[in-house]
Amino acid sequence: MANELVNPEQFFLTRFAMSERAFERILGTALERKADYADLYFEHRSAETIALEESMVNHTSKSVSHGVGVRVCAEDRTGYAYSDEVTIDRMRLAAEAARAIADQRAAVPAVHVGQAAPSHALYEVAATPLEIPVEDRAKLLSEIDKVARAYDPRIRNVMASIIAERKIVMIVNSEGRLAADVQPLCRLNVTVIAEDGKSRQMGTYGGGGRVEYRFFLENERWRQYAIEAARQAIVNLDAADAPAGEMMVVLGPGWPGILLHEAVGHGLEGDFNRKGVSAFSNRIGQKVASELCTVVDDGTLPLRRGSLNVDDEGTPTSRTVLIEKGILRGYLQDRMNARLMKMAPTGNGRRESFAHSPMPRMTNTFMLAGESTPEEIIRSVKYGLYAVSFGGGQVDITNGKFVFSASEAYLIEDGHVTRPVKGATLIGNGPEVLTRVSMVGNDLQLDSGIGTCGKDGQSVPVGVGLPTIRVDAITVGGTRA
């Protein structure tokens, strides 16, 4: 079934024999106690994974799930209940459980459902990989295996996977608004292991988004993924140990934006700032970064992994300026935190599934381009580190302190990129690092479509981006001084 043929609202109304009048009764039940807001979140998800390792397709899986979540908000409290049985009785029981957070109210406001919420049209794709025969996907993985192994005789193993899903959602709220969407998502991952008898190193690359299968075939994008993963593994195999100490660091464009996402982005989410636990709390209008830094979160970019036509509360996504020329301008908001902070929701209410209550989350977060060329930035560094790609990291939201490991990095010596190094970690404070940005490149790139963000046990797809930037001082943890 092609995405363009699915009417998401009609899908739920027909599949579960629902009506707008039934929604009104359930929401009325949810509001029978003193509550400010209630909503219903319907979800039907189909997902498939196919994976290759040791030159064999060794894993395939398929899952289908559906359910409904009922949320009731009263002041700063949230009651949430869900069921994987989408029936009137189950929804009524969930509504009764959710409303238990509040006190009795004498008058119950009437709910009239029927007003369609505004929405974007960012990913009306014709077909997801779910509609492509498994044999075709398996053949593509085998081709990736051959290309990666042919890159260098030191390649010992290749792991590749295609993960695809189609999610149909509908949100109905106590203000009478109804929003629905069909959300495709797919990702191709390649991981390569290289060995030379002395060392064993890994390279990883991939991409995707809210796209269809032919996205990977266009210009043989899949081949680029395989070669890039193999190249990174071989670079790391030949790398020297990273130096340690405080030094100038240049972050490359694209995926290094994950440092911005973690070290700064989470601290700008509304819930942390409403509670006063973020390093950015109560700082709107203050300088928090170099005047060269403008940071935005944009959920309206077509086909991007972090984009949505509407968020998981039915609010259209938006382009939100968080930091403008170094000045803090705003936070990322869902409905509840926006109401409590007397701000407008920004379309950043997100949840992992119907079994989870929404919270403020990022979509696609990146720094805007500057005026310097990447070559100028490199030439300006006498001695430092050039970090091209990152692996894992940790951040403390309360103070902005972070630790990130670089999966690909090089030394910069006398204005030239020289030797590859391994084992480099960046240690610092997010807000402090932004004040040390002294050059911003004109080469903004978004990541290739691989990001997944975790918060409070929930994972959602996101995008990140960055131009080449120079940070005048970051502590680098390595294996030699």
Give the DSSP per-residue string, 234-264: HHHHTPEEPB-EEEEEEEPSSTTHHHHIIII
Report which of 25, 309, 9, 360 is spatially closest to residue 184, judged by C-alpha positions: 309
Residue 200's DSSP bridge partners are: 195
Give the DSSP per-residue string, 318-365: -EEEEEETTEE---B--HHHHHHTT----S-EE-SSTTS--EE--SEE
Report which of 308, 31, 77 is spatially closest to residue 173, judged by C-alpha positions: 31
Q: How far is Cα 438 from Cα 187, in angstroms, rounded to an integer? A: 35
Report which of 76, 45, 41, 153 is spatially closest to residue 337, judged by C-alpha positions: 76
Please, what is the Cα angle at 68 between 25 and 273, to 5 degrees? 100
Q: How far is Cα 268 from Cα 164, in angstroms, rounded to an integer? A: 30
Q: How far is Cα 338 from Cα 354, in angstroms, rounded to an integer? A: 22
Long-range Cβ contact pairs of 409-413 (< 8 A, separation 24 or more)? 409/242, 409/385, 410/385, 410/386, 411/243, 411/383, 411/384, 411/385, 411/386, 412/248, 412/250, 412/378, 412/381, 412/383, 412/384, 412/385, 412/386, 413/382, 413/383
Q: How far is Cα 7 from Cα 17, in angstroms, rounded to an integer? A: 15
Is the Cβ–Cβ distance between 156 and 195 less than 8 Å? yes
Report which of 270, 311, 362 is spatially closest to residue 41, judged by C-alpha positions: 311
Residue 287's DSSP bridge partners are: 327
What is the reported pLDDT for 3?
44
Domain boundaries, the chain: 3-237, 241-477
Report which of 70, 141, 124, 122 is spatially closest to residue 99, judged by C-alpha positions: 70
Give pTM, 2 decimals: 0.94
List of the chain residues with pLDDT < 70: 1-5, 102-109, 480-481
The conformational region for residue 96 under phi > 0 = left, psi -120 to 50 = alpha, else beta, is: alpha
Residue 259 vs residues 7, 188, 208, 301, 469: alpha-carbon distances, Å: 38, 22, 20, 21, 12
* Helix/strand number for the chain, H first, E second: 11, 25
Q: Domain 3-237, what architecture?
A: 2-Layer Sandwich (3.30)
Q: How far is Cα 30 from Cα 218, in angstroms, rounded to an integer? A: 49
The conformational region for residue 198 under phi > 0 = left, psi -120 to 50 = alpha, else beta, is: alpha
Sole residue written with tokens 């240690």 = 427
Residue 180 vs residues 8, 44, 132, 293: alpha-carbon distances, Å: 6, 12, 25, 36
Please give the span between the terminal C-alpha atoms of the chain, in angstroms, as a whole number: 59
- In the chain, how long is the greatest CA-to-CA distance? 76
